[in-house]
Amino acid sequence: FDNGRMHVPADAFGGMSPEYKAAGALKNLFTMVAIRVVMAQEQEEQGGYANGGGDEMTDTHRTLRDYLVEHPLRDGNAWLEQLMRHEDGNMRRTALRLLEVRKAYASGQFDFADMHQLAVKELTRDNDKLMADYVADSMSLSVGEGMGMDGLQQ
């Protein structure tokens, strides 16, 4: 620990801090959220499933869905950059729309405090279960199987 913070080696994430690495993952998540929001908006424009509109979808919805199948999202920025170079002008406009939706969601809709609280809660629960499973497994092993009474290799 350094100044009350745990030391993370500088090369742990290619020279990035864990926070910077997490921000990149969130950026990709926000890109996918933007895609889903725009697709839902397009579905609603056509009447949507909830309104009894059935399977109808706009050209934008259909083209965006097909594009996502053909080009799975791995890097949100690279995916959007590629979409902005699409031969169809409507898809280029859709890429700009996705940029706006992604920014709006990240800056005003996503609950970062709730995410932090949920991540710590889930991590604590998972750690507790893993530790309980480890203890249960350790108790069921005999000392003669290469394990000491403390559950460690001898």
What is the structure's pLDDT at 1? Answer: 56
Sign of CA dihedral 145, 148, 152, 154: negative
Tell me, what's the pLDDT at 146?
56
Q: 32, exposed or middle or buried, with CB in 10 Å at 0-12, 13-18, 19+?
A: middle
**pTM of this prediction?**
0.77
pLDDT at 57: 81
Is the Cα torsion angle 124, 128, 131, 133 positive or negative in sign? negative
pLDDT band at 48 (very low <50, low <70, confident <90, very high): low
